[in-house]
């Protein structure tokens, strides 16, 4: 299974996700890290991603090859992450046939009605449950 993690900024969310994926699944999954900037990519590689790349072209080229795409909800919103997420990046992620598991952070003017904010570790635990369900199907 090929799991893609997309993050921006300092890569903190992607780092937490990848560390927990590695602890849960070990080397049974391939984890690819895609940062909107090199700092995010480096943080995710350090956390245990198999490979990583940075920027718009890398994201466009690799999203169609993913089985699962993980990131904040913002990864499908053009100009999100303080402008780091380009329209082409958002489109490539949204158009991918991969299952998208998006973490619902209320940031960047996006409010999810009915969503009860949870700490990142709790959201990632839920993410792992979803991946196990997908893997069984």
Residues of the chain with pLDDT under 70: 106, 137
| CATH code for the domain in which residue 131 is found | 3.40.50.1950
Range of the domain at 13: 2-136
The fraction of the chain above a pLDDT of 90, given in percent, is 83
CB 17 within 8 A of CB 75: no
Whether the model clears a pTM of 0.85, i.e. scores above it, the answer is: yes
Q: How many domains does the chain have?
A: 1
């Amino acid at each position: 299974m090929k799991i893609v993690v997309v993050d921006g900024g300092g890569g903190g969310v992607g780092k937490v996700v990848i560390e927990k994926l590695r602890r849960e699944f070990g080397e049974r999954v391939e984890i690819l890290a895609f940062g909107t900037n090199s700092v995010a990519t480096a943080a995710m590689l350090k956390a245990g991603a198999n490979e990583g790349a940075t920027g718009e072209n890398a994201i466009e080229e690799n999203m169609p090859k993913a089985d699962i795409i993980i990131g904040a909800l913002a990864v499908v919103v053009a100009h999100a992450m303080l402008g780091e997420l380009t329209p082409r990046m958002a489109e490539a992620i949204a158009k991918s046939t991969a299952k998208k598991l998006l973490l619902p952070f209320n940031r960047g003017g996006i409010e999810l009605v009915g969503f009860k904010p949870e700490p990142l570790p709790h959201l990632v635990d839920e993410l792992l449950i979803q991946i196990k369900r997908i893997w069984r199907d």
